[in-house]
Structure 1
Amino acid sequence: MSTTKNCLICGVGGQGTVLASKLIAQAAIDMGLSAKTAETIGMAQRGGSVVSHVRIGENLSAPMIGPGEADIIIGFEPGEAVRCIDYLKKGGTVIVNTNATIPVTASLGMHYEGAEMIEYLEKLESRGLINLIKVDGEAICHELGSQKVLNVVLLGKAASSGVLGIDTARIAEVIKARLPEKFHEINLRALKV
């Protein structure tokens, strides 16, 4: 990988966005690349927005990704993916969990419909502005027996798509090195779904 890869990971508190960014960064470092991460977290413990910036490459200057610079957005929640879409470069890839998590604003009486967010992303794809990979994270996690592996399911999709520049085998090694052994089996299965 001779160029910089910018990956924005967005979701709501408790979905594992920060862990996902750390797994990607460690995999890049293990490949001999530089990696920088930064998070913006708003009321995360109460379901607020969490955005993790991951920059991979050589000669990285700053950890934050600017508007129009992200090669890939990994959206753990459809509304958060739409909210971060301005960070994506034209022709970039959005990998999105199709299942909505009701954000704090909706719990305060505001309207929120996750399907509308997916439709918006589909319109952007139909106009050739983005590449879209939709993942039914809820169904996959149900099949695996835990909603807590959504982050690794989406990382697996990003790695297998090729756009991340890090393969699933490298991420599997990081999972084995960084996570407690009791979580290895389910996360390795999630990575390969």
Structure 2
Amino acid sequence: MSLDIVITGVGGQGNVLASRILARAAMAAGLAVRTSEAIGMAQREGVVTSQVRMGDPLWGALIPSGGADVLLGFELAETVRGLPRLKPGGVVVASAAVIVPVTAALGLAAYQEEDLRNYLRRNVENLHLVDAGALAEEAGHPRAVNTVMLGALAGLSIMPFDAEHLLRTVLDIVPAKYRGINSRAFELGRRAVGGY
């Protein structure tokens, strides 16, 4: 089995860490893996896109446009921007979280949150909107959004390994003092899409 995943968001959301966790989990499951990242101009709040390819055959690290099986969107506008990467019938797991760009915060542009949600609902057949920010807070830390999103992805049972394997990988990577928070965040994400 092969699986191509595009992760999109903005700097500071844990996008790159999430891609590394997925890659490590795939390698531990005996799968071939390729990854790639494109990091925006700003360290924080610049666009960040990661690609994770796992399985066989793998020809390169870049997923062709229209070729991703899964789009994991950490921020609403970036999820919409990433849709051309998704193949027809692909799965979108999107955080309902928004990070308003500076131009919108200054009143120079509009950030139309509800329009973005409606666009996703109209244009994505397999859409799972997750209130990842609220779930991360519930788990104990606002920066656990990436783990919530990995839990949601695992809850859909589309990975070539089980949810427990991915959770073990998360807990192996995060510092010991954050393992409880990340374990709760993962389970909350998993439950948010009906997986358990």
Q: Does the CA-based 8 Å contact 2:51-2:61 persist in structure 1?
A: yes
Q: What CA distance in whole angstroms lies between the structure 2 residues aligned with 1:26 and 1:192?
A: 19
Greater mean alpha carbon deviation, residues 48-57 or residues 139-148: 139-148
Partner residue in 1 for 2:25: 27
Asked whether the equivalents of residues 44 and 50 of structure 1 are also in contact (C-alpha less than 8 Å), the reply is no
- Provide the residue aligned with 1:168 in structure 2: 163
Per-residue CA deviation, residues 9-51 of structure 1 (Å, 9 max, x unaligned), is 0000000000000000100000000111100011242311000
Deviations 1:98-131, CA, capped at 9 Å, x for gaps = 1211134434622112221111000113xxxx30
User: Cα deviations across residues 171-193 of structure 1 (Å, max 9, x unaligned)?
Assistant: 12112222211111110111111
Q: Who is 1:5 aligned against? A: 3
Match of 1:121 in 2: 120
Answer yes or no: is the 8 Å Cα contact 2:139–2:182 preserved in 1.
no
Q: 2:184 aligns with which of 159, 173, 189?
A: 189
Q: Which of the residues 41, 44, 49 maps onto 1:43?
A: 41
Q: Counterpart of 1:147?
A: 142
- Which of 59, 62, 66 is matched with 1:61 structurally? 59
Identify if the C-alpha distance between structure 1 residues 105 and 48 changes in structure 2 by more than 3 Å, giving closer, same or farther. Answer: farther
What amino acid is the match of 1:70?
A
Normalising by structure 2, report the TM-score. Answer: 0.90
Q: Where does the alignment leave 5 or more consecutive residues of structure 2 unmatched?
A: 189-196
Q: C-alpha root-mean-square deviation of aligned residues, in Å?
A: 1.4
Give the superposition deviation at 1:59. Answer: 2.9
* Secondary structure at 1:110 match in 2: coil
Question: Which amino acid is the alignment partner of residue 161 of structure 1?
Answer: L
> 2:76 and 2:160 mapped to 1: Cα distance?
23
Query: Counterpart of 2:97?
Result: 99
Verify the 8 A CA contact 1:46 1:104 in the aligned structure 2: no
Q: Could you say which residue in structure 2 is the equivalent of 1:88?
A: 86
CA contact (8 A) 2:157 2:163 kept: no
Deviations 1:157-176 (A, max 9, x none): 10110123332211121122
1:156 Cα deviation from its structure 2 partner: 0.5
Secondary structure of the 1:59 match is: coil
Q: What percentage of residue pairs aligned between the two structures are identical?
A: 39
TM-score w.r.t. length of structure 1: 0.92
Letter in 2 for 1:123: R
